[in-house]
Structure 1
């Protein structure tokens, strides 16, 4: 059965079909960019039409209106990327409206931004729920963020826009 599914995947890809990530241990690669799927990006534009399918002829389901918001790409097709936000809302967006700049959304109200990646260090700032911050780097359990002119460390568990196992230098 597994080989039949693998063959079906190869046939669909060669026909230009949309790749949907599997739940197997190996991370899938996008058929267009060869980048990992799923992966995080951010909104380059201040407004983006989110469509039902990967073309201008597909209906617009809603409009994302938050520049720099992190989005997760779950599929690729030509110049289109299927994305979802932290609430799971999503659809297809043109790749030109997305950026590789990594950002996160604060998931905990009054999140302490700390001087070092340790829970008992000085608090640099407190970030409100929903604040968008830029990622400088991430270790196993901590990410270095910048927001509102402040830089510091926050636990990965309190932000959305990075995988739990992801390390960024």
Structure 2
């Protein structure tokens, strides 16, 4: 296929409403979307300056379940960034596809159903790691410490603003 034909195909896809699929970046190793959210499997994870064991360890994560965003792939390594924007390389065996979120608002209310007028089931402190469930446009169902409920998506880190989940 010629370069002109390839560009014409891309333009046709964009005009037909395929903008999201035409521009979505995929990982060269996994073919999964980049960026994407994952969580830490291990209770202690080294974050390295580069994608190999010979690269220096810049710091160590010590919270199992911590949500991270994968921003690149190289062999068995994933470049990640955390809620503070700090990044580095982590071996793929230390991360999981299980989705978690980090509570960013103190005393975040968990409602029985999506809606500010719904009963409050619990309140979560800032920094709590919660398992992510379903998400609507503005709300996500989360669970932590034996409690579950719906929280404002904007108060959570580890889920995209446009993301919906069933």
The answer to whether the superposition gives a TM-score over 0.5 is: yes
Q: Could you tell me how far apart the structure 1 residues matched to 2:134 and 2:95 are?
A: 20
Runs of 4+ in structure 1 displaced over 6 angstroms?
none
- The structure 2 residue matched to 1:81, chosen from 78, 82, 94, is 78
Task: Note the alpha carbon deviations across 1:84-131, whole angstroms, 9 max, x for none.
Answer: 110011200000000100000000000000011011110000000000
Asked if residue 27 in structure 1 is aligned to residue 43 in structure 2, the reply is no
The match for 1:139 is: 136
- The structure 2 residue matched to 1:154, chosen from 132, 135, 151, is 151
Q: How many residues align?
A: 146
The match for 2:62 is: 65
TM-score, reference length from structure 2? 0.86
The match for 1:114 is: 111
Q: Could you tell me how far apart the structure 2 residues matched to 1:115 and 1:67 are?
A: 27
In structure 1, stretches of 5+ residues that fail to align are 4-24
TM-score, reference length from structure 1? 0.84
Alignment root-mean-square deviation, CA: 1.0
Asked if residue 92 in structure 1 is aligned to residue 66 in structure 2, the reply is no
In structure 2, stretches of 5+ residues that fail to align are 4-21
